[in-house]
A = this chain, B = another copy of it.
């Protein structure tokens, strides 16, 4: 029974550093040997646990990426009151970790989407699924915000959700250059500015 644990442990190890290197260098630009060299493991070990590079990547998407996106960008908003402030704080928080060159999973996601778009429909589906979960959750939060009196009832929740996701993905694409702190500040500023429009206005 201990072997099961060992198996899981090494698979986790390979997947974790695999995601890191895929993120840094891109999928097509990283070889299995790159990952194995970092781990001081052999080809035999890798292909004992995974069938192929593609299957390996998909396992990363499902096991790591999905859960991380969920815990960093979805869960913090779920069920909370005052969704707009929660969303702004959550985005700000995620962008802060991104500043310090840590893995920002929302961005990793869009990164891979651009890389696999039109090339691998199979992988694309898994990636798009995560986006959909994210979007659905934002819509739900906004709708709940309406009934709780935090969000203007006349806004189109779905449109706002896609607008939020797109702006987030975009700002992260721009932040690659290094002046992240300034970009983050400007972005959050405009985001909160935008939120003023869709807040619930108390009738005078």
Contact = CB atoms under 8 A, between A and B. Distances in A.
Contact of A187 (B28, B119, B166, B173): B166
Interface string A9-30: 0000000000000001110110
Contact of A197 (B113, B171, B197): B197
A187 B191 CA distance: 15
B167 A167 contact: yes
Given A156-B186, A183-B162, A115 B114 contact: yes
A62 to B, nearest CB: 19
Given A165-B170, A166-B174, A160 B115 contact: no
A59 B115 CA distance: 22
A159 interface: yes
A203 interface: no
Contacts of A186: 156, 158-159, 162-163
A190 interface: yes
> This chain: how many copies in the complex?
2
A105 interface: no
Contacts of A156: 186, 189-190
A24 B170 CA distance: 20
A131 interface: yes
B115 A26 contact: yes
A113 to B, nearest CB: 6
Interface in A12-59: 24-26, 28-29
A8 interface: no
Given A162-B183, A193-B197, 10 more contacts: A26-B28, A26-B119, A29-B119, A124-B177, A156-B186, A163-B186, A163-B187, A163-B190, A167-B170, A170-B170
Q: Which 10 A-B pairs have the closest CB atoms?
A: A166-B170, A170-B170, A159-B186, A169-B170, A163-B190, A166-B171, A167-B167, A28-B28, A117-B176, A114-B114
